[in-house]
């Protein structure tokens, strides 16, 4: 019985390793698209990759090839969009360096250094464990403060300071450590408005490739951050950075 259970677990492990969820791609369609890419028939290959992506299927290699094709066609925004997706799927630091270089070369805003991006990516991956650990430390410190006050006549200044410090760290983690939603500007002339209305005043007109942080949404308008100011952009003019 134990041998049978072990065998089943081993088979499940092999299946999970060899068929990761993010690589749920039709092998026949992908092979055909890859052959077109190898023959340098890039637009046809991209159309097939795009159809697979529309069905929710992708692989890191496929996303990287889509970024390469779009860069070759001069579509900077689309290239950066797929590079972002490739990084999310692969965690390849070279993708961050490539995006950083493209942003610097084309004077694009919204891109942190690769080291900063990796740090925030790690924070997002460890968001819940770190929040739980910090909350536990806060409870322990608070319990120690209460115990110290009951046992001592003097004011436990250092313990009180520690409690405040841990509470501040927990607040900062909860507020800043959560996932940052981003979008890539996909159109060459994108209007940023002062309010969620076509009748609002135009704050700026920007080109494709800039990366914006989402602060909120009102109907078809996204509230985003641009040069330390909150502005609004129509949702269909940008591409959300998510798999």
Domain map of the chain by residue range? 2-108, 126-176, 182-240
Residue 155 confidence class, pLDDT cut points 50, 70, 90: low
Please return the burial class of 47, using the count of CB atoms within 10 Å of its CB with bins 0-12, 13-18 and 19+.
middle
Measured distance CA(33)–CA(37) in Å, rounded: 6
pTM of model > 0.75: no
Q: Around Cβ 139, how many Cβ atoms within 10 Å?
A: 11
Give 90-149 pLDDT, tens digit per residue: 889 899 889 989 999 999 998 876 566 666 665 566 557 777 777 788 787 777 777 777
Residue 207, H or E segment: none
Measured distance CA(229)–CA(80) in Å, rounded: 23
Q: What pLDDT is attached to residue 173?
A: 53
Of 46-60, 112-126, 162-176, the range with the lowest mean pLDDT is 112-126
Give 206-219 pLDDT, tens digit per residue: 999 999 999 999 99
Please return the burial class of 120, using the count of CB atoms within 10 Å of its CB with bins 0-12, 13-18 and 19+.
middle
Measured distance CA(112)–CA(154) in Å, rounded: 48
In the chain, what percentage of residues exceed pLDDT 70? 73
Give 69-91 pLDDT, tens digit per residue: 999 999 999 999 999 999 989 88
Q: What pLDDT is attached to residue 8?
A: 31
Of 25-29, 82-86, 231-235, the range with the lowest mean pLDDT is 25-29
Q: Which two tokens stand for residue 203?
A: 């704050």
Task: Give every CB contact of residue 29 below 8 A, 6+ residues apart in sequence.
Answer: 48, 51, 52
Assigned CATH topology for domain 182-240 = SH3 type barrels. (2.30.30)
User: What are the φ/ψ torsions at residue 226 (nearest 5 degrees)?
Assistant: -140, 115
Residue 158 confidence class, pLDDT cut points 50, 70, 90: low
Q: What pLDDT is attached to residue 159?
A: 63
Sign of CA dihedral 126, 128, 134, 137: negative
Assigned CATH topology for domain 2-108 = 1.25.40
Measured distance CA(237)–CA(223) in Å, rounded: 13
Q: Flag whether pLDDT at 14 surpasses 50.
A: no
Measured distance CA(197)–CA(40) in Å, rounded: 44
Q: Average pLDDT of 22-30?
A: 68
């Amino acid at each position: 019985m134990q041998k049978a259970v072990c065998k089943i677990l081993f088979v499940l492990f092999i299946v999970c390793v060899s068929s990761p969820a993010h690589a749920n791609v039709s092998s026949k369609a992908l092979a055909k698209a890859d052959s077109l890419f190898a023959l340098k028939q890039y637009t046809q290959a991209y159309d097939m990759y795009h159809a697979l992506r529309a069905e929710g299927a992708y692989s890191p290699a496929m996303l990287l090839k889509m970024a390469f094709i779009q860069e070759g066609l001069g579509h900077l925004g689309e290239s950066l969009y797929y590079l972002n997706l490739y990084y999310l799927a692969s965690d390849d630091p070279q993708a961050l360096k490539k995006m950083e270089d493209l942003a610097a070369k084309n004077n694009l805003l919204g891109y942190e250094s690769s080291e900063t991006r990796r740090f925030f990516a790690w924070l997002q991956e460890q968001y819940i464990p770190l929040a739980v650990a910090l909350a536990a430390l806060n409870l322990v410190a608070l319990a120690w403060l209460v115990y110290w006050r009951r046992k001592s006549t003097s004011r436990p200044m250092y313990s009180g300071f520690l409690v405040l410090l841990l509470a501040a760290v927990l607040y900062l983690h909860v507020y800043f450590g959560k996932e940052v939603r981003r979008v890539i500007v996909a159109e060459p002339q994108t209007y940023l408005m002062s309010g969620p209305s076509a009748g609002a005043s135009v704050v700026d007109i920007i080109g494709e490739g800039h990366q914006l942080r989402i602060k909120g949404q009102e109907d078809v308008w996204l509230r985003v951050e641009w040069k330390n100011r909150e502005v609004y952009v129509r949702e269909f003019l940008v591409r959300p950075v998510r798999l």
